[in-house]
A and B are shown apart, each in its own frame.
Chain A
Amino acid sequence: MADQPFVIGGREFRSRLMVGTGKYADNETMVRAIEASGAEVVTVAVRRVDLDRTKEEGMLHHLDPETVFLLANTAGCYTADDAIRYARLAREAGFNEFIKLEVIGDEETLLPDVDGLLRAARVLVDEGFQVMAYTNEDLITALRLEDAGCAAIMPLASPIGSGLGLINPYTVRTIKRRLSQPVIVDAGVGTASDACVTMEQGVDGILMNTAIAQAQDPVAMASAMGHAVEAGRLAYLAGRMPRREIAVPSSPTTGMLD
């Protein structure tokens, strides 16, 4: 079935699944999982270089920016100013103008600070960034982020790392219906059925990390997620049958024997 091209900030991507690179047991598993997922957009975080070399090396030792599209995030930032600082550092690394903007408002839930998010988004859009904004499943904030010039709006399915799945399909569907810019659900997917149900709401894509990285077999789960995102997208495009509260037979009711 023919689909629309998946375009964010003027750039077309081949997969509607985007994956993170955090929380893997080892880098080899991460690389194999990314391949198995079919994802093109791969997120990374900006952190201090470990000067004692006791911890892992940078991601660029493991990922080839020629084969994946590196999307830096501002994870861990609790103020607009911090997020802007991290975004500028990420851009200076020299790969692209895209930033997954997170401004976190609360440590326990990791829910976004939407006021800080909007302020940071406006500054970064002015500086030429393609801002992909991680936000609540709140229509008004999503509309404001779109007005601010964000390239994509990224409502959560449920809190980061929770694996609770799509808690509020109605609000995510409403956001998708009301916005013109791509809507990519970010955070909360736990397993393949969650990804499929999320895509069936009509959103443009999904970004996930923990559901793959913390699966018992991350490479197999990555493959499952790739299929689930495609299946959900196809089901959305196909258009589901109406729900009925009564049974309707699938076989003819005529031609029965006496």
Chain B
Amino acid sequence: MTDSITIVVNGEERTVAPESSLLDLLGVLELDPRAVVVELNREIVRRPALGDTALSSGDRIELVHFVGGG
């Protein structure tokens, strides 16, 4: 059992504890789950499922929100 797994969040490698969920990741990043939309390996994960979705080594996560635009 390793003590961490490596994932890619918004294009940057990060390590998280094994068996972390997406909700745990948002907690570590101090992000409000209501203020971001989460994509895991190009599939959207809806808010109610964030706590039940476990991270695996090599997962690619995108965290997006609304910014200024025309």
Contact = CB atoms under 8 A, between A and B. Distances in A.
Q: Are A and B part of the same complex?
A: yes
Interface of A: 20-24, 30, 43-49, 51, 56, 58-60, 70, 72-73, 75, 85, 88-90, 92-93, 160-161, 187, 207-210
Interface in B46-70: 46, 62-70
Majority-rule SS of A interface residues: mixed
B68 A93 contact: no
Contact of B69 (A20, A51, A88, A92): A20
Most chain A beta-carbon contacts within 10 A, residue among B35, B64, B67: B67
A88 B38 CA distance: 11
Given A60-B35, A75-B70, 4 more contacts: A56-B68, A85-B42, A93-B37, A209-B69
Contact of B67 (A45, A187, A207, A209): A45
A124 to B, nearest CB: 14
B65 A21 contact: no
30 contacts: A20-B70, A23-B70, A24-B68, A43-B70, A44-B66, A44-B68, A44-B69, A45-B66, A45-B69, A47-B65, A48-B10, A48-B62, A48-B63, A48-B64, A49-B63, A49-B64, A56-B68, A58-B35, A58-B67, A59-B65, A59-B66, A72-B66, A73-B70, A75-B69, A89-B39, A89-B44, A93-B37, A93-B66, A187-B70, A210-B70
Majority-rule SS of B interface residues: strand
B68 A59 contact: yes
B28 to A, nearest CB: 10
Contacts of A30: 68
Interface of B: 9-12, 29, 31, 35-37, 39, 42, 44, 46, 62-70
B2 to A, nearest CB: 23
Most chain A beta-carbon contacts within 10 A, residue among B9, B12, B36, B64: B64
